[in-house]
Structure 1
Amino acid sequence: MKAFGVIRRRISNAHPDHHAIAQGMAWVALFVFVGKLASAAKEMTIAYRYGVSDQVDAYLFIFNLINWPIGVWSGILTIVLVPLAARIRQTAPAELPRFRAELFAFTLVLGCDLALLFWFGLPILLRSSWLGLSISTINIATDIIPDMVALAPLGIVVSLFSVWTMSSGRYSNTLLEGVPALVILVTLLILPSEGVEPLVWGTLAGFICHVASLAAPLAWRGEIETPRFTSHSPQWPPFWQGFGIMLVGQTMAGSVGIIDQFFASHLDTGAIATISYANRILALIIGLGATAVSRATLPAFSRIKSQGGEQLKRIAMFWIRLMMVLGVVTLIISWWLAPWIVKLLFERGAFTALNTQAVTEVFRYGLIQLPFFFPGLALVSLLASHGKHNLIAITGISNLLIKTSANYVLVPVMGIKGIVLATGIMYMISFVLLYWFAIMLLKQRETTG
């Protein structure tokens, strides 16, 4: 009882910024957990219905390619827009509506341009002889392109609305990330077709519902303006300054998944699906910690920095160390539970015991990234709060180089397991680099006062 009293006093006497970050993480983790339950149910249904097949390979190949620029856009907005919005709210709040309207218009144009690019470019890519996909996978992928390209503008708008919500200190966007998975799940359950079409239609419907669910609360709070196809807001120069740097870094970092996909396409049929199932379980685990870390620390660090930043070093280092401990504990527990997790989620219908064994092995190698990935996100938030987009971009570029080199060395020897082991190596080196950048930054702040 005495120990509990000491812990309670320490918590109550902690700096208010620790309380704010912890509260934010708790809400985000809760919302992520709810969303991941829907995602887990969706993955279980896909595994039951399609197993490890060319249909899943084709769907994931097209979906991941389209989702790549969406992920890059989302990453750029998160790192650039959240600190910028905090600064605008502190210094010039009257300028926010115009900037939101013009950024919304830019987002719509970007989404439509990407849709056209995929419409014409993906069929050409699928006809490439070096791709390595089977003929049946290529035929299925070609058939679903006209429907799937609509995901580009929808996903780009979703990213904007999500980051606007997060920048205002709200976390409902995290809860709403489960909407697409829930819609896909319902679609697969009610549509009897044995082809890949229910999966495609469910994905489109899920993205549409996601946009609507994010737009409704923003509109109710008056935080969505009619798009203005101009660029007269005085906030564009600082936005473009961060955007240009982060575009390079996020494009490189976002290319890691695409590179893995191309390496996997040259392995046996079902390799893309096997990695995807393992990554889906990793996403369920990572989402509870990583999403909470990023979405709670970045707004908090940005707010502390905009108000002077005296407590930032102590607070940031505390959360970085805590996240590393969390990563190690999560790795140990998940490694031990891996066979039961995969079997519970997937082993039914078309997903066999052999598939369970293959996914479990890949999943365990993927867990190696956790002790470095969690604290790495807190370090990125720290650098972003100081506007050090160039350092984050350098890390993204180095990640791509490390990952590609590791794939070339490990995949011929270890196959699919080499792909995910290379990811762990990449995040380990990335953490070391980010930590060094952060230490240099904080020393510079102490020197300059």
Structure 2
Amino acid sequence: MAEPRYLSRADAEALAQKVLSFTTADEARVNLNSSTSGNTRWAMNQVSTSGDSYDATVTVTTAFGKKVASATTNRFDDEGLRQVVQTAERLARLVPEDPEYLGELGPQQYVQSEPYFDATANLTPEERARAVMQIAGPAGRQNLVSTGFLVHATGSNAVATKRGLFAYARSTGVSLTSTVRTPDGTGSGWAGGGENDWARLNVAALGERAIRKAELSRNPRAVEPGEWTVILEPTAVANMVNLMAFALNARTADEGRSFFSKQGGGNKLGEKFLDERVTIVSDPADPRIAANPFSGEGLPNRRQVWVENGTLRNLAYNRFWAQRNNREPTGNPGTYLMSGGDTSVEQMIRSTERGLLVTRMWYIRPVDPRTILFTGLTRDGTFLVENGRITTAVKNLRWNESPIFLLNNIEAMSEPVRVSASEDGDGGAVMVPAIKARDFTFTSLSDAV
């Protein structure tokens, strides 16, 4: 892979100023995104595809009064930039007024956050292939079949406005996920991880975990649905907690459309609604969960305490809703850290008379937004725990559950670790613990592996 290509701060600022010089709109904003990415996919214990790409876009938002529209291009010559500005202006004149448009931002102050690492930026196809073989090689030698995906990106984004704002940040990120299965198709194990720094990703350990789960999950037996004590590994916890994180919206709460709506009007700010051991914080300057220091509007992303000792401390306010309610807008850092405990997964297993150990969740779909009730399936390693030890693999189960119920039924937590909150394992990074909880509701069995 060649030297990673992305817009430097100087180039981004010069390009943004050129674009802004072409507009006659009352308000204008330029968003610049550029990145180099590389990926390697493997199946049947061998690399199947590998690729590298470079992409860059310019998005121009213009406004005449409260008539606002945007246009995007990947042409950076003067003609292309003039055309995208003209398109945005032409559309802005045609659209209805947006009564919630507050104009663009002027200069802002941002926290120092640049999750950029040379080890990720300089990752080559050869290094990716060697990493894949740290999983595919051991899997093949144990007569197992591994598949997976390794992807990394290096890039920058910038925001500039006609009012004099300019913000720039660069970052790197890498994620690896692998599913290992037994030849007879009865056993499946999964492991995944993501970091900003490639040097921190222990590929061999991830492969060992997926292989072990595949071997342990052969020939699963059926267990009865119902309310179970569960030990959710961190990825499964993130799958659940993320459902609540997405629901922390002030407007839907104030308008009576969410769990955080208060009966009779208003929201539940200041109310205790979770186990007092639960605290959830976003902080783009924290290197463990580093994030972009600004939003797409150029709004600063700052440290936010969402839940403190089980009490709701903040909801997400955009600029319009914050102004309407005389509050500060919160930004959108996109990462978070949840508090934990000092109980390992092994200790949770030893303390469990009868329960289920769950690797991760899959096919998650909403049921009732008012209770944040969702349904989904366990996947790639679900095990029966009896008398303090894993006794057998079990068939996957469908669950109907809310993260609110889960986080009120906590019996133990581990130290938080960094995982992906997405179903695919390659989404935004968060830090959460493993959790042992009571009365987790499973509704039916699934024959899917």
- Fold agreement, TM-score > 0.5: no
Higher relative contact order at CA 8 Å, sep ≥6: structure 1 or structure 2?
A: 1
So what's the TM-score if we normalise by structure 2?
0.22
So what's the TM-score if we normalise by structure 1?
0.22
Looking at secondary structure, tell me which structure has more helix per residue: 1
Looking at secondary structure, tell me which structure has more strand per residue: 2
